[in-house]
Structures are given as C-alpha cells and as structure tokens.
Amino acid sequence: MMPRMTFDEIRACLEGEGWAVEAVSSDTMRSDFQGAERLFPLFVRLSPPFVVFAVIPFVRLPMEPEEGDVIVRRLLQLNREINMAKLSADEEGDVILSVEYRLEDLDPSEVRDAVDVLSFYANKHYAELVELATP
C-alpha cells in the first residue's frame, strides 16, 4: 500500500493543475473556480481518514423553512442521480456540494477528478437550484 497523500502534496497537486491555493489552517485550504454563473469557493479539508473537497456555499436555502421544501426535495433527488458528489446543507442554511475520498487511497488523478466533478456539477445544477431557493 502506498503512503497516503499529505496536505502539502494535495496542495502541490492542485497548484500543478493551475489552481491558486491558500492554506487557511493546518488542515484546510481554499481556492475558487469560475463557473458559468459565478465564482465558486472551493475548500479542501483533511479530516482523516478522509479528505473532503467542497463548494461552500453552493447556494443558500430560503430563510423560511416552509419555503425550502421544493429545493430540499430536489437536493434529495439529485443525490440519487449524481455520481461521486453529494449535496448537503449546514446549520447556517448553506447548501454544500462535496466530494469525499479516503486519504489512504488518494492519488493525484483523484485530486483532479474531485475538482473536475465539483466544477461539472456546479455548472450543471447551480442555476436551477438558485431559482428553487428563491421564494
């Protein structure tokens, strides 16, 4: 078994692919990418045994819970349809688009796959989800 990738190796891999990366803590780095609709923030967090690549916030849930039923149903539906990524929401109402890999299995091609998957689904679903989130 190969040794797992370190924080610095993941960062170097992203930088080698042209991503501008900023370390925000000892286990989290930040970047962003230009989507079709807007600039998306990208966070990479080591949380052994996993590494999480996430767009936070992807969209915001409506402030009133009853106005969020339609988008929440759509998020659940998309979670069944999309591959490799998942959609979730945090306690602040941010919808998160994320990909998770086991650190012990991670290699540079999977780092590229993670950011490719996030940019693909961000571009594919952002406009629809923003519309559903707007009361």
CA 96 to each of CA 56, 57, 58, 78, 122: distance values in angstroms, whole numbers, following the listed order: 5, 6, 5, 13, 10
Residue 1 lies in a domain: no
Query: The CATH number of the domain where 69 resides is what?
Result: 3.30.1460.10
Domain span holding position 110: 7-133
Number of domains the chain is built from: 1
pLDDT of residue 2: 55
Segment 95-123, tens digit of pLDDT: 999 999 999 889 999 999 999 999 999 99
Task: Report the share of the chain in percent with pLDDT over 90.
Answer: 85
Both structure tokens of 132: 């559903």
pLDDT at 3 exceeding the cut of 70: no
Residue 30 lies in a domain: yes
Q: Model-level pTM?
A: 0.92
Element (H, E) at 80: helix 69-81
